[in-house]
A and B are shown apart, each in its own frame.
Chain A
Amino acid sequence: MLTTIRVNGVDHDVDVDPRTSLLDLLREGLDLKGTKKGCDHGQCGACTVLVNGVRINACLSLAVMHDGDAVVTVEGLASGELLHPVQQAFLTEDAFQCGYCTPGQICSAVGLLAEVAAGQPSEATADLDGPVTLTDAEIRERMSGNICRCSAYPQILAAVRRAAGAAA
């Protein structure tokens, strides 16, 4: 099925089997192996990408559902040699071990910053009517859709805190 999809700023016209997940299109069709496949069932967050600026699990979406959409993967975050502030924060805080979950963590954190800027609440938000303050509890809850089997959570928390400071 013919589908036009913009990935990291480049338009691709692809002919895909409707069964192809967005994740498989990115990794196998477009050879963008940065986005990882962990569980393939929405349970780990390794496949997190941004679609029209919003983070989703690419494993639970079909490529054909994204005709006309703009997707950003971890490969699309840096500007040339200049890393995205979230990528830089993950390096500075040493926020990974094996690195398998890291592209998903980074895309997730980029989405998180936009959500906080838009004032979207989370389960950790005490006052639903008030503004959102990005406490550690808020970061942990908002990043809970990304599992790290190396358990680099303290450093991931620090990296997101650092990136949020840079963004503020």
Chain B
Amino acid sequence: MKPFAFERARDVDHALSLAAVSPGARFLAGGTNLLDLMKLEIEQPPRLIDVGRLPLADIAETAGGGLRIGALATNTAVASDPKVRSRYPALARAILAGGSVQLRNKATVGGNLMQRTRCPYFMDAAKPCNKRLPGSGCSAMDGLSSTLALFGASEMCIAVSPSDMSVALAAFDAVAETVRADGSVQRRSVETLHRLPGEAPQVDTDLAPDELILAVELPPPPEGGQAWRKVRARASYTGALASVAVAGDRVALGAVAARPWRARAAEAALADGASPAEAAAAELASAEGEDGRKALVRRLAADVIRQAREGVGS
């Protein structure tokens, strides 16, 4: 690991002012992604700003009947919260499907949203990777293809977001509230927090370096059933081959794009009275990739939409 300066933020303003004057500095929350990548020297921040003890871990109902979850709430705290379990079960399920208990006890909402791709070539510093080293090429194009993007990829990068939690958040139309050193507060949809790779896959999100996520806000859960499912190569403790979250008439697909993928074509088809299978097929019509992978996601999406309707998925 490269040397770095370590600073514990006393409060939000302190964290932001440190970030504003330290080029390349990173916020440190649970550390389960950032420290992993720093050990591999894929991330080399000169300064870490430890935000782990800032008082941003509350989970509270909003005036509008939704839920506000502080960015430093641990994944375990969110999945264990009675309000989340009873009103947003698909979110609890999505979180519980990620990593291990040890990781979820440490991982935070903000860190989970901002975690980088787990593309095996991104995580191997010896391999060309446009996300890690712009212009070096993309090893995944001709490499292992079990977890490549089906939607929104570019010639430069076909990596997917590994966050399970964000798939459910996207299905609930959640918004991330952020603040910068100049005091400006922004509300960004979780669905589009991450950029599509385009010509610049090295830039994951539109967040400025001094932009701190304060909380995510969920509107009241939509009418109708909820369901979640994640398919993976072993029973537990590994990333998704694909996942699906359904909340009412909203459908989000996971591990198929650089961001949680709202299946708008499927949603439109459902609104027009299509069956779950027809809706899933409508979404996959625009997918680019291996036929086997498309078939997997199509079947999974149809199954989970059906489960949500039958009320057996969560």
Binding site for B on A (CB under 8 A): 1, 17-19, 21, 40-42, 45, 48, 54-57, 60-62, 64-65, 67, 108, 111-112, 115, 118-123, 125, 128-129, 140-142, 144-147
Contacts and interface: CB of A to CB of B under 8 A. Distances in A.
A123 B93 contact: yes
Given A65-B50, A111-B105, 17 more contacts: A18-B6, A42-B99, A45-B100, A60-B106, A61-B31, A62-B31, A65-B31, A115-B101, A120-B80, A121-B92, A123-B96, A123-B236, A128-B89, A128-B314, A129-B85, A144-B235, A145-B237
A119 B77 CA distance: 12
Which has the most chain A C-beta neighbours within 10 Å: B32, B89, B97? B32
Interface of B: 1, 3-6, 8, 28, 30-32, 35-36, 39, 48, 50, 52, 76, 79-80, 85-86, 89, 92-93, 96-97, 99-103, 105-106, 235-237, 314
**Chain A, interface SS category:** loop
B31 A144 contact: no
Which has the most chain A C-beta neighbours within 10 Å: B6, B30, B79? B6
Given A62-B31, A62-B35, A141-B236, A54 B105 contact: yes
A57 B103 CA distance: 7
A54 B101 CA distance: 10
B35 A60 contact: yes
A56 B102 contact: yes
A145 B4 contact: no
Contacts of B236: 123, 140-141, 144
A143 to B, nearest CB: 8
Contacts of B3: 17-19
Contacts of A57: 32, 100, 102-103, 106
Which has the most chain B C-beta neighbours within 10 Å: A108, A119, A144? A144
A124 to B, nearest CB: 9
Contacts of B4: 18-19
B38 to A, nearest CB: 8
Contacts of A60: 30-32, 35-36, 103, 106
B32 A42 contact: yes
A121 B86 contact: no
A64 B28 CA distance: 12
Contacts of A111: 101-102, 105
Contacts of A55: 101-102, 105
Contact of A119 (B5, B6, B80): B80
A24 B236 CA distance: 27
B310 to A, nearest CB: 16
B98 to A, nearest CB: 9
Nearest to A20: B1
29 contacts: A18-B5, A19-B4, A42-B36, A42-B103, A48-B102, A55-B102, A60-B30, A60-B31, A60-B36, A60-B103, A61-B106, A65-B31, A65-B50, A67-B8, A111-B102, A111-B105, A115-B76, A118-B80, A119-B80, A120-B76, A121-B80, A128-B314, A129-B85, A129-B86, A140-B236, A142-B101, A144-B235, A145-B101, A145-B102
A60 B37 CA distance: 10
- 10 A-B pairs with the lowest CB-CB distances in the bound complex, closest first: A145-B100, A144-B236, A18-B6, A128-B85, A123-B96, A120-B80, A144-B237, A19-B1, A145-B102, A57-B102
A45 B50 CA distance: 24
A144 B99 CA distance: 9
B85 A56 contact: no
A95 to B, nearest CB: 18
Contacts of A45: 100, 102
Contacts of A146: 100
B6 A62 contact: yes
B247 to A, nearest CB: 15
Nearest to B40: A41
A20 B314 CA distance: 41
